Chains A and B, each alone.
Chain A
Amino acid sequence: MKHRLFLVALVSLVSLIVSPQLMASSEQTQSQIVETEQTDSPSALTYLNNMKQAYNNLNYTLLYLNTAQNQIQPKQLIHGVIDGKRITYFTYLNGAMRESLQFDGKISFYQQGSQPYSLLSHQDQSVFADITNFDFKSGNRNYEYIILGKDRIAGKKAIAIRMISKDNYRYSYIVWLDLDSYLPLRLDVIDKSNVILEQTMVVSMKISNTVSPWIKQLSIKATPDILNLSQNSAAEMADWNVDWLPTGFKVIKDDQHKLMMHDTDPVSYLMLNDGIVSVSVYISNKKALLADQKNIIQRGATLIYTKQINSVEVNIIGEIPLVTAEKIAASVKLVH
């Protein structure tokens, strides 16, 4: 087959020299060859894009474990598509009932003993969403994709793909996906020394042709009232900005708002995003002097970094290495 197509290509190339009118048909033949080669051994990029399609379009139920620093949490995710609209139901399987439902631009939270509420939310908040919604094609500026090999996860044949950061300013990932359905089965967040910081592992996967009756029923139920966050924030821009960002990061939120807990002065807030991780930067007046000039808390891949500069305190929260947080904090500048 391949030989024949090659011959065809050769022939058309020859004919191209002979007659320029045949140019169009020769291009067609050449593109056929490229396609044939791709189906023989899909690239890492093809697998990743297939994963994106599967995660957003299939009806499935996943039982998975979240592991960070020796703490394991079993959780459940049910996903379906109703009339072209995605619906995701999430719950903790252990401890107090904690559930959320995302459908039709809203996410609703339910917890035992608390009043439920909804937020306007347009981005998928489910477990693998940050990875699956990544624009892999343009993302190869910051990540390199390498197929590690085949493996077996949750009883399924899987393929492992490594997304290696091209710099030291972000973490790398290894994602395992089901070779039949292309759904993600496992995700490891690793630092540059290959230490696993956080792991999400599917232990049971069920795919169905129709939407689960349970979430179909949920989709027609009335959701709790929407709480509007913007009412709590002064719409102005932050008084501060950052001079330095790692490549690929953009400021996607810029405002001043009050923190929920204390009725304090509003803090300047920036949200940075590189397509996978979102980082919060808070700039406020210094309340109390820290024993050291900085304070570092790490939980799984999430870092909480505090730096006090003169009378100002900068807090950075997100799934980034310490070196990135340090550089961002050092570049904070007052907006004139």
Chain B
Amino acid sequence: MKEYSQDLSSLIDNEFDDQEIIDAVLEDVELQQQFSRYQLIGDVLREESDGLDLRVDVTDSVMAAIAGEMQDDNVVPLATPEKQDTNVVPFMKRFGQYAIAASVAGVVVVSSLIVNQDDATDASSTPVLNTVPFGGAAAPVSLQATPAQTENDIKERNERLEALMKDHQLQLQTKP
């Protein structure tokens, strides 16, 4: 192939008339294309390209590429992915969203629990939100945890209370 390149150059410049090479070129598609490109380059260099179609024909290669793709994957999704069924809203997303209803309603349990825990001198004590006395009693209603309750237990308990509180707010928003 490389050896013919030189010959092609000569052929273009009309410096070559070896019938054998010409026959070879006529039979080799690739050489014909190369010949065509060389001619085009020559025209451009000589500024004789006016009116010539300079567009390189890529249709064949594109079609070939598409054909290859089609074999890999018969469905080429051009549109956006299928709309998600409302049944399958991801769980975390759903939780995150519902959190707004609770916060708009103005009750966020855990943050207040944390505040209360910071205030507490005993780290193992369960959180007590109440500072309003019940039934006129002076002491707030409180609950002292036994030392058996670990921090993890308290954390789990708080999480559950927050989940309940949020659910309560949500149920209020949609009450019949």
Contact = CB atoms under 8 A, between A and B. Distances in A.
A292 B168 contact: no
A298 B167 contact: no
Say whether chain B's binding surface is mostly helix, strand, loop, or mixed: helix
Contacts of B172: 125, 278
Contact of B171 (A90, A269, A291): A269
Interface stretch (A2-10, A38-46, A114-122): A114-122
A263 B91 contact: yes
Interface stretch (B18-26, B37-45, B47-55, B155-163): B155-163
B103 A278 contact: no
A228 B170 CA distance: 12
A122 B176 CA distance: 7
A273 B176 CA distance: 10
A297 B130 contact: yes
B135 interface: yes
Interface of B: 86-87, 89, 91, 93-101, 103-104, 106-107, 109, 112, 126-136, 141, 143-146, 148-149, 153, 156-157, 159-168, 170-176
Interface of A: 66, 69-70, 73, 90, 92, 98-100, 107, 109-111, 114-117, 119-123, 125, 191-193, 195, 197, 225, 227-229, 231-232, 252-253, 257, 259-263, 269, 271, 273, 278, 280, 282, 287-288, 290-292, 295-300, 302, 304, 315, 317-318, 321-322
6 contacts: A100-B104, A109-B104, A231-B86, A263-B91, A278-B172, A291-B145
Given A121-B173, A259-B163, A260-B170, 20 more contacts: A70-B131, A73-B106, A90-B104, A109-B97, A115-B93, A117-B97, A119-B174, A197-B132, A228-B86, A252-B175, A260-B167, A261-B95, A261-B159, A269-B171, A291-B144, A291-B146, A296-B130, A297-B128, A304-B164, A317-B164
